Amino acid sequence: MSTMCVKRAFKYRFYPTDAQAVELSRTFGCVRKVYNMALAARTEAWARQERVNYNQTSAMLTAWKKTEELAFLNDVSSVPLQQCLRHLQTAFTNFFGKRAKYPRFKSRKKSRRSAEYTTSGFRFRDGKLTLAKMTEPLDIVWSRPLPQGATPSTVTVSQDAAGRWFVSMLCDDPGVKPLPAADTAIGVDVGLDHLLTLSTGEKVANLRHERRDRARLAKAQRELSRKARGSNNRAKARRKVARVHARIVDRRRDHLHKLTTRLVRENQTLVIEDLTVRTMVRNRSLARAISDAAWAEFRSLLEYKAAWYGREVIAVDRFFPSSRLCSQCGALQDKMPLHVRTWTCDSCGTTHDRDVNAAKNLLAAGLAVTVCGAGVRPQRSTPGGQSATKQKPSQREP
């Protein structure tokens, strides 16, 4: 069986020394400063109907370093500074290609703290990673091994809002093998009562990770609201809130990874509905529950794993009436309010579970499109490429 070499990021937690933490924090600040200055320069040029590219911003960076006001940029590695200019160029390319909005300035408090190093900015030997401007290797917790003989092409160091440090290594992974072809296909209907309902009748429970920690989160947020702005106590309270959020996100992502891996391994074809979560969360009474279910992340994980392992994901058009269509005789019901969870077909008398019936209809529509090529939208090429859709949730979130 043939193998394919894919670019794969391996993320690990590490514990920097005090000197390393200071150096990285300084690097994060310089990266944000250079990015914002380059964005301002390109915005001013755009107002003059001029275009500035990466090479020009790189020359600007060289000039900035020679000024007395910005001489501190020489204290950190130049590699992350050049990389942030490349990221800005990519952002403008996506903007001009109408794939993204206009680039925004990085906020000191809200923006992600990260820096990317290419091969000239780090040394990886004998399982030890040493970054530029540092004398000691990072104390990394190797929770899983890198691929045999793999050497990172880029290394991204980041710190989350909870104060945890992470390093992500991008490597070529030749060990990704397409799974043996299977003759199984499955329809997947997402919801709130149950996270997933499969066309086989199986229902996957919605663990509601955010609701399980809602009391703890509310307490931490109340404590934060009482602290004086700008004080050290407020910073500590903010990190406490961030740790609760991090706990929720970690558990949710772990569950979705296990779930999507199982579905991809067991099925050759997976049919889902082309939902647009961005539009659906405008429903204020359901936004919290929809965000907690993380339907968009589920789809993203499912699609890239299917591409890795030779599976197919089909997204059925958002206007397909999966809930109102009888999977037994094909009769279409006029109305199907959200509170109706079971219903009986007027034509054939079959009693349906609403979600199971929808999953069966999705499967039938997905299999039909492989033959006739109609009624299904293609997979997304970018994370933001979803389209507007009907509302899917099945209950109100308390």
- Please identify which residue in the block is written with the tokens 């394919």: 4
Q: Which residues are the active-site residues?
A: 189, 273, 355
pLDDT of residue 392: 46
- Please identify which residue in the block is written with the tokens 């000024």: 67
pLDDT values of the chain reduced to their tens digit, one per residue, 398 residues: 556 678 899 999 999 999 999 999 999 999 999 999 999 999 999 899 898 999 999 999 999 999 999 999 999 999 999 999 999 999 999 999 999 999 999 998 888 999 999 999 999 998 899 999 999 999 999 999 998 888 999 999 999 999 999 999 999 888 788 899 989 999 999 999 899 999 999 999 999 999 999 999 999 999 999 999 989 999 999 999 999 999 999 999 999 999 999 999 999 999 999 988 888 888 888 899 999 999 999 999 999 999 999 999 999 988 888 888 888 888 888 888 888 888 888 888 888 888 998 999 999 988 887 765 544 444 444 334 333 333 344 443 43
- Please identify which residue in the block is written with the tokens 């109609």: 374
207 Cβ neighbours under 8 A, 6+ residues apart = 195, 251, 252, 255
Structure-token pair, residue 240: 């406490």
Which of 271, 272, 289 minimizes the C-alpha distance to 281?
A: 289
pLDDT of residue 323: 85
The amino acid present at 111, given as its one-letter code, is: S
pLDDT of residue 82: 97
Contact present, 5 and 173 (Cβ < 8 Å) = yes
Contact present, 15 and 183 (Cβ < 8 Å) = no
Query: If you count them, how many residues does the chain have?
Result: 398
pTM of the model: 0.84
311/246 Cα distance (integer angstroms): 31
Cα–Cα distance list, 70 to 28, 34, 35, 103 (Å) = 15, 10, 14, 23
Question: Would you put residue 163 in left (φ > 0), alpha (ψ -120 to 50) or beta?
Answer: left
270 Cβ neighbours under 8 A, 6+ residues apart = 185, 186, 188, 263, 264, 302, 306, 311, 312, 313, 314
pLDDT of residue 3: 60
pLDDT of residue 221: 96
Which of 205, 204, 315 minimizes the C-alpha distance to 269?
A: 315
385/100 Cα distance (integer angstroms): 10
Contact present, 338 and 393 (Cβ < 8 Å) = yes
Q: Which domains does the chain have, with CATH numbers?
A: 6-173 (no CATH), 178-207+245-374 (3.30.420)
pLDDT of residue 285: 87
